[in-house]
Every structure is written in structure tokens, then in C-alpha cells.
Amino acid sequence: METTAETTTAKKDVHAIATEHVIEHLKRGIVPWLTQWTHQGIPQNLVNHIEFRFINVFLLATLGYKKNFFITQKQLEKLGASVKKKQRGYPAFYWKWPEKSEKMNGITVTESDSSKSPFLRYYYVYNIEQCNEIKKSMIPKIHVPENPLQMCAAIVANMPNAPTVQHGIHPASYMPTIDCIDMPDKEQFPNDESYYCVLFRTLIHSTGHESRLNRKEVMQATLTDKDLHRTEDLISELGASYLSSFAGIRYGGAIDVNEYATVWLEKFQKDSRLIVYASTQAQRAVDYILNRQRRSISDDSTAASL
């Protein structure tokens, strides 16, 4: 039987469970969102190729498998495959809407109730390296960008409703009052990759503008509002890390990882909901920049029923 949070953790705080997994990595000096997944591929379901989203991207990519293809127990059984002995599954978190039922022509119809707030749940997945009898023909080839810098430039150029970017100004920042990004000249960075990592962070900030996602951390924060600024900083870090791996460049090369991990460890120990919220907002920001069709938050639960 495949285990989900509905059957095992109805009374537990699933936000805390997700945060505990992040904390476990941070205690070992591993920052999940500094893990590059370009050559392993974005974590996705092997059978239906649905990409994992928000916090799952970083937690699954950090596991260190050669290819980030995952599968559920039910899918394995349908394939006639199995999990190797002594292997454990990994939680994949998703948002689920409460359901409502109504009768239509004498038939009871159940559907998601979007008038209420969704709640966090999870199910378990296994990496293909943990499994037996999976045919090699089922495993797709991972697409790796041939020219990462060209990919970075394309991401910036193709962002819809993009803010103005002006160069020659230090430090890099986003000003929501005039919807403008200030950037130092590219020559002031140690390399082009560093330039794009910083630009990606400011682009993530800009998605919070009222003309885009209207994120409170951008539009409502005051100079003294440390909580909103802290959350927005994390949103930008997560989003920029995703864009960097997507383009094929390494994010956070100049960061002191141990010191950086300690700072975020303290924050997550105080606030068990911070990483889930920030990663959800970061995913929306990434979707906006990449001009992906906007997905309902409930779509993240698709694979949970497989």
C-alpha cells in the first residue's frame, strides 16, 4: 500500500515535516537550493514526466542520484518492477484543495473547493537507482543546455512584461516604486555566470510587482519590516537557483556554504512554514519569468494519486 499523508499524518504539521528534511541537510552543511541539477535533470516522474515543483525540486535534487527520475510504488507495480531491499522512499510534498460534493441530476459529484485554503500533504517516491526491473528504454535522455550563457540571455530577454534594467549602478537592486532593476556593469563581476546569478535574483524580486504577481513581500514591505524582507530574500535565492540550474550555470559560487547554512538553519528552526511558503512563491516567480502557462496550485497533487 502506498503511504500518503492522509493515512499517516492527519494530525501532524506537514510543514514541519518538510522543514525537518531541509534542516537535516543544513546540519550537514548542505544547502538544498545550492545543489545544481543541470546534468541530472530537473526531478520528474519517470512515467508521466511531470516535473516536481517548489520544495520538492531542491529536496530531491540534493539526494545525489545520477538521474533525477522518480517513481511511485503503484507505478512500479504496474510496470512489474520493484524496490530494492533496504531502500526507503522520499516524501514528495503537494498542495491539496478541500473537496465539496453536490448532486447534479441525482448523481453526487465531488470536486475541489477552491473557495477554501489548500493544505499540505505528501506521498513517497523512489529514484530509479533504488528499483529493479526498470527497462532502460523507459529512461529518457537528459537535455543539457549546449550554451549556458546564451540560455541565460534568452531567459532575460524573453521574460514577459519585464522591468527596465539599467547598468552602471552599484549595488544590484530592484526598485518596485519605478519597476526598475539596477545592475553593475557586467565587467565588474568576476565572470558572466556571476552576473547572471545576481540578475536572476533581481528578476525574481521584480515578479512581486503589482503588475505581475503582486507579492506582499515586495509591495507591502517597509524598510523596518525584517520578516517580509527575510522571506523575500529566500524567495529570490530559491528562484535564482532554479533559473541557474535550468540555464546550466552554477549558483552561489562565492558563498561560504557552512556560514550560509547556519544562518538559514536558525531561521527554519524558528519558523517551520518559511521554506514551504518561500519555495511556493519562488516556483510561481520562475513560472512567470519562463512564461510558462500558469498552473493551479492543486496541479502539484497530480502524481499523488498515481
3-state per-residue secondary structure call for the chain = CCCEHHHHCCCCCHHHHHHHHHHHHHHCCCCHHHCCCCCCCCCEECCCCCECCCHHHHHHHCCCCCCCEEECHHHHHHHCCEECCCCCCEEEEEEECCEEEEEECCEEEEEECCCCCCEEEEEEEEEHHHEECCCHHHCCCCCCCCCHHHHHHHHHHCCCCCCEEEECCCCCEEECCCCEEEECCHHHCCCHHHHHHHHHHHHHHHCCCCCCCCCHHHHCCCCCCHHHHHHHHHHHHHHHHHHHHHHCCCCCCCCCHHHHHHHHHHHHHHCCCHHHHHHHHHHHHHHHHCCCCCCCHHHHHHHHHC
Cα 70 to Cα 306: distance, rounded to the nearest angstrom: 12
Domain limits of the chain?
5-141+295-305, 148-289
pLDDT at 295: 53
Confidence (pLDDT) at 223: 78
Residue type, 124: Y
The dihedral built from the CA positions of residue 251, 62, 286 and 237, taken in this order, carries a sign that is negative
Query: What's the whole-number mean pLDDT along residues 246-254?
Result: 87
pLDDT tens digits, residue range 183-219? 999 999 999 999 999 999 999 999 999 999 999 999 9
Q: What is the pLDDT of residues 159-193, one digit of tens each?
A: 999 999 999 999 999 999 999 999 999 999 999 99
Q: Average of pLDDT values for 74-89? A: 96
Calculate the alpha carbon distances from 180 to 137, 174, 213, 233, 234 in Å.
Answer: 48, 6, 16, 17, 20
Total-model pTM: 0.89
Share of the chain above pLDDT 90, in %: 79
What pLDDT score was predicted for residue 294?
55
Q: Round the average pLDDT of the chain to a whole number and report it.
A: 89
> Which pLDDT score, from 0 to 100, does residue 224 have?
80
CATH number corresponding to 148-289: 1.10.10
Around 6, how many Cα atoms within 13 Å sit in the side-chain half-sphere?
Answer: 11
Average confidence (pLDDT) over 75-92: 96
Residue that wins the pLDDT comparison between 275 and 99 = 275
Predicted pLDDT at 7: 40
Q: How many CB atoms lie within 10 A of CB 144?
A: 11
The pLDDT of residue 252 is above 50: yes
Tell me the C-alpha distance between 122 and 59, whole Å: 13
